[in-house]
Amino acid sequence: MTEIRIDKFLADRTKYSRNEVKTFLKKGAVCADGVTVTDPKQKINPERQEITLSGKKIHGGEHIYLILNKPEGYICATEDKQHKTVLELVPEELRHKDMFPAGRLDIDSTGLVLVIDDGKLAHQMLAPKHHVSKYYLVTLAENFEESYLQSLADGITLSDGTHCLPVQTKQISEKICLVCLHEGKYHQVKRMFASLGNHVEHLHRVAVGSLLLPPDLPSGGHLEIFHKDILKMLKAESFPSMCEEILLAFSSYLINDRR
Ligand code: URA
């Protein structure tokens, strides 16, 4: 990123308007490398300089990529009149106007959601040709039946006649399995298990591509990742090795919370 006016940078990277930013500047609330800046026209290089607003560091890289551990009760949207959105989980100093959740989890599902401000990447991730896999720990109401493995591997037909692509599945306990989806139809996991005569009690997304939800990230917590992590995520991963990693990483979740 080249040099940019500090008022434009702050208005782009925060929820504040250019006029509000000017007020902050006037009050002496903005610093570049620890030195107070009051002139809105002052040029800065956000990649090289540390810019703070009211003492909080404002992210200077070209794009922001965050992993969120979504709790129940939040929806994957940028705004909503009725429900809390995942953007409310992003701390104010990182939140800005161009951020959005890349992909969706239902209001009652939990786990990995990416919140980014990079439209090009979102397009790449969601394009069918990239097949970014999504991994879910699924807790069922009734016992997992062995016959599900073949039905899911063949591709389930949903109640409205929609055909699903083959799904890779591993049974973990009587009522828990790990599924890997290569597409994202509306309520897909819930509808697939409904077609099999079961009911999904809970869904926890634990990985997208090879990007694992950090198991120690608390519910509602966030972690900033970088473009290189995203590139790694987009590379093809293998189901058996992801299973191993996920079972290792989430052993305490499986033992303590969701038997
Ligand atoms: N499938 C569902 O049914 N719900 C989700 O939240 C994600 C996948």
192 Cβ inside 6 Å of ligand 1: no
CA of 119 to the centre of ligand 1 (A): 22
User: How far, in Å, are 10, 40, 138, 168, 243 from residue 148 at the CA level?
Assistant: 52, 62, 13, 11, 18
The single-letter code of the amino acid at 40 is P
CATH code assigned to 4-58 = 3.10.290.10
Residue 237's pLDDT is what? 86
Say how many Å lie between the CA of residue 135 and the centre of ligand 1.
11
Ligand 1 lined by 105 (C-beta under 6 Å)? yes
* CATH code 3.30.2350.10 region(s) in the chain: 65-256
What is the spatial distance between Cα 129 and Cα 233, in angstroms, rounded to a whole number? Answer: 15
Per-residue pLDDT tens, the chain, 259 aa: give them. Answer: 579 999 999 998 888 899 999 999 999 999 999 999 999 999 998 878 889 999 888 877 778 899 999 999 999 999 999 999 999 999 887 888 889 999 899 999 999 999 999 888 888 877 777 778 999 999 999 999 999 999 999 999 999 999 999 999 999 999 999 999 999 899 999 999 999 999 999 999 999 999 999 999 999 999 988 777 888 888 878 999 999 999 999 987 777 655 4
Distance CA 21, CA 25 (A): 6
**Does ligand 1 lie within 6 Å of residue 187's CB atom?**
yes
User: What pLDDT is recorded for position 124?
Assistant: 80
Catalytic residue among 106, 117, 118, 160: 106
Q: Whose CA is nearest to atom 2 of ligand 1?
A: 187
- Three-state secondary structure call for residue 94: coil
Q: How far apart are the CA of 106 and the centre of ligand 1, in A?
A: 6
- Ligand 1 in contact with 190 (CB < 6 A)? yes
State pTM to two decimals: 0.82
pLDDT at position 14, please? 84
Q: Is 106 a catalytic residue?
A: yes
**What is the architecture of the domain spanning 65-256?**
2-Layer Sandwich (3.30)
pLDDT of residue 258: 55
Any idea how long the chain is? 259
Domain with CATH 3.10.290.10 in the chain: 4-58
Question: What is the whole-number distance in angstroms between the Cα of residue 156 and the centre of ligand 1?
Answer: 15
Q: Which residues contact 122 (CB under 8 A, 6 or more apart)?
A: 100, 102, 116
Q: Using the CB atoms, write b or e for 155-187: b if 16+ within 10 Å.
A: ebebeeeeebeebbbbebeebbbbbbbeeeeee
